[in-house]
Structures are given as C-alpha cells and as structure tokens.
Amino acid sequence: MKTKVRFIVIGCTVLILTACSKSDNGNNNERGADTSNPTTVSPVETLPPNANYPPAFAGQTRVNGVRTTTAIRTTIVTSALSAPWGITSLPDGRYLVTQKGGNLRIVTVTGTVSNVITGIPAVNASGQGGLLGLCIDPQFTSNRMVYWVFSENVTGGNLTAVAKGRLSDNESSIENPTVIYRAGPAANSNAHYGSRILFDQTGNLLVSTGERANTSTRTFAQSVTAAWGKVLRITTSGQPAPGNPDFSQAGALLELYSIGHRNPQGLALHPVTGELWQSEHGPRGGDEINRVQAGLNYGWPVITYGLEYSGQTLGAGIQQQNGMEQPVYYWDPVVSPSGMTFYNSDRIPEWRNNLFIGSLSGQHIVRLVIENNRVTGEERLLVSERQRFRDITQGTDGALYAITDAGRLYRIDRQ
C-alpha cells in the first residue's frame, strides 16, 4: 500500500521569508490574537455552550488558543485497519493495534498490516463494546506479555474485562490468554466500558471503567462496592495492588484507585511528575480532563458541567461539592476525548510535555499546554482530515501515531 504524505504547516516558522502558509490547526478565528506572542490566539471553541455554567476557576474551559510554529508533516501510514481502538508501540518500532471487532494486528512503520493474531477471547462488539485498550509489559522484550481490555458476555449481561497473554515468537497468536479481572457486576448495556489500560511506575496496572451509561447504573460510579465508573489499580494477576487507597465504607473494593467517573477513555502518565491524567466523556457538554489522585472522588453523576442529552438539567444541576474533585479542564460543547498521550520527545521542543488527545465527535487531535497542573493553551490539529481520532501514542522514533475509526494510522512529526 502506498504511503500518503501530507505536509501541514501549523503556524509560521520565522525564516528569511516573510510570507506564511495557511495553518491547519482548525482555528480560523484570527481576531483577538495576542500580537506580542504570535503563537497565542483566541480560544479554539467558538460555538455557544449547552449549559451556561460558570467554571470553578479561570482557564478551566475555553482557554486561549495556541499555534504550533514548527512545520509538521502528517503521513497516512495505512488505511487498511478495521475500526482500530487501541495502539501501543513495540520495542522494535512497530505497532500493536486492537480492532473493535475482536482482532489484534501488528503494523510496521511502512504500513504493512499483519494477519490476524489469533487467541483473543470472544468479545461483545455491539455498541461501544469490542476489543478495546491494550498495553505491553515493561519487560516485553523478555516475557512478550500483552494486556488488553474487552467487553465480555457473562451471565446477567456483559462487563469490562481485563486479560493477558503471551505474543508467540512467530507473532501469529496470543498464548495462554487469561482473563485476570472482571469489573462487575454485569449490566445489560453495550456502552460506557471505559477500557484504557497502562502500567504505572510500580509495575501494576491502571484500568479505567465506565458506569455503563444507563440512568439506573450511573449512580454506581459513586458506589465503592461496584467497579463501574472507576480507575482501578491491579496487579498483573488481577489482584488489588499493594498501596491502594483505603475507601473506608463497608464492602469497598480493594482494587479501587479513584471513583466518580462517567466514561473514561484516556489514561496517560505525566513524563515529569509521573502522575496519572485521564480523559472522560461527559453527557451533553462536560467532557473532562482530570489529574487522577489516589482515593479521590471525581463527582459523576453528582456534579457535572454537562446536561442530559435531552437538554434538561442533570441531577441537581450543580458543578461543585465538597469532597468531589474539579476537572483540570472541560469542554462544552463536547469534543468526545478518547485515547491520549503526553509528548516526551525533543523533535518538536514546543510540544514537550504537552498532552495530545484523540477527539471523536470533534474530529481532530487536541493539543493541551499544561503548566503547574493547569491548562494554559489549546490547539486543534488535523482538523482538515475529518477523522474520528480514537487513540494516540508516541513512537520509539519520537513521532506521534494516531488511529481513527475509519481505519487510518497517522504519523505526525516535524518536516
């Protein structure tokens, strides 16, 4: 398959030339730009919000826009994937990709897609379910272990399940696939599985779960006896990880790390602080970015910056409550944030430690500049591609790689 290359100049690099190419950052509103800093522009969101809720602090939403000054090259590595959902880098520079329908594949840097890797347990691919997030063991070069999250049919409905297995030496199959954790109870819902997974710095797994979408189930995000609407921290054998916070209520699950989440589809560790950050789908408005800390409650569905899909007030219509954490950032209208990664490369210095998030309904990649745990700038990248960006990761070469629901894998790097 031919590799398609698209050159995108995001902003202007100051050279001998005085002319400047058109930006592809999706911010066509040049009014109000800060002329003292040509990379700072008006907020990228110009549509009216669904709810007229005031933010809890300045910069919590609709922060000033920023514009990348480095010339960027965007390459379509392949368009041959089928509804990819999760991507992770292999040590040799190739990519392991889950496909929603239940298949696992390897993609080379030149765009060759492997045959289906067999051995993955059956998934329930209806609705938002399927073969979802994945990661590899930090010791992959020696143990070849892969971990993934999927929607599993069980008695009473379906649930978010975590499994592991060894990638065979010939890369044709997953050996000894084992389900190590099930986020119960089961529910009759095919939505809000959460399903991102990564290793923390202690060698344990962090897993996000959704509250299964129904009005009758969403309240379980506040319950410490159910694994819905949570970030979980488990060992590689699926047991509660040592050092987990103590939720003191009776019957509290020992694997809980944080509670009060809606549908968290992005997890990433900050490359400097090591802290966990998370993206979360809101309802009609109220998409969130959270800095997740052990033992804290992130509020859903008690507090939210969104509305019911009908437009009615959600719950008591409050956005703050004692004992519940505020999002670092939120969107209204939604962008539908999915997989995300921090940029930790010197190839584009101005992106260093910025957070990049795949946007589904927004059909772009979000770039957030973060300083002292606050968002100070937002940019929209690859808007003209009109793709639902499902996940994004940084490759071993320092470039960003993003997958889309339409089956594309993009490489994003400097020219």
Please report the pLDDT score of residue 206 as a whole number: 99
Percent of the chain with pLDDT over 90: 90
Q: Quick one: pLDDT at residue 403?
A: 98
In this predicted model, what pLDDT tens digit does every residue of 131-143 receive, in sequence order?
999 999 999 999 9
| In the chain, % of residues over pLDDT 70 | 91
Q: Specify the pLDDT at position 412.
A: 98
Cis geometry, peptide bond prior to residue 138 (ω within 30 degrees of 0): no
Quote the pLDDT of residue 17.
25
345-375 confidence digits (pLDDT tens): 999 999 999 999 999 999 999 999 999 999 9
C-alpha–C-alpha distance, residues 270 and 396, integer Å: 17
Q: Could you state, in order of their start, the residue ranges of all structural domains in the chain? A: 4-414
- Residues 174-217: pLDDT tens digits? 999 999 999 999 999 999 999 999 999 999 999 999 999 999 99
- As a whole number, mean pLDDT of residues 325-344 equals 98
CA angle in degrees (0–180, nearest 5) for 129-133-134 = 140
Average pLDDT of the segment spanning 81-103: 98
Q: pLDDT tens digits for 276-331?
A: 999 999 999 999 999 999 999 999 999 999 999 999 999 999 999 999 999 999 99
Residue-level pLDDT at 40: 84
Does 364 qualify as catalytic in the annotation?
A: no
Measuring CA to CA, which residue among 157, 183, 179, 319 is closest to residue 263? 183
Whole-angstrom distance, CA of residue 204 vs CA of residue 271: 17
Q: How confident is residue 122, by pLDDT bands cut at 50, 70 and 90?
A: very high
Average pLDDT over residues 86-102: 98
Q: What is the mean pLDDT of residues 405-412?
A: 98
Distance CA 72, CA 389 (A): 18
Cα torsion 8, 14, 15, 21: sign? positive
Model pTM above 0.85: yes
Q: What is the mean pLDDT of residues 88-101?
A: 98
Out of 192, 261, 281, 364, pick the active-site residue: 192
User: Over 70: is that where the pLDDT of 35 sits?
Assistant: no
- Which phi and psi angles does 159 have, rounded to 5°? -155, 170
In CATH terms, is domain 4-414 a member of 1.25.60.10?
A: no
* Tokens standing for residue 101: 């329908």
Q: What is the pLDDT of residue 24?
A: 41
How sure is the predictor about 94, in pLDDT bands with cuts at 50, 70 and 90? very high
Position 124, amino acid? N
Q: pLDDT value at position 132? A: 98
Q: Report CA dihedral (387, 388, 391, 397) to the nearest 10 degrees.
A: 10
Query: What pLDDT band is residue 101 in, cutting at 50, 70 and 90?
Result: very high
* Tens-digit pLDDT profile for residues 49-87: 999 999 999 999 999 999 999 999 999 999 999 999 999
Neighbours of 384 (CB within 10 A): 15
CA dihedral of residues 251, 256, 261, 266 (deg, nearest 10)? -160
In a 3-state reduction of DSSP, which class is residue 98?
Answer: strand
262 has pLDDT over 60: yes
Kindly tell me if the per-residue pLDDT of 130 is higher than 90.
Answer: yes
Model confidence band, residue 38 (pLDDT cutoffs 50, 70, 90):
very low
* pLDDT > 70? residue 243: yes
Q: What is the pLDDT of residue 20?
A: 29
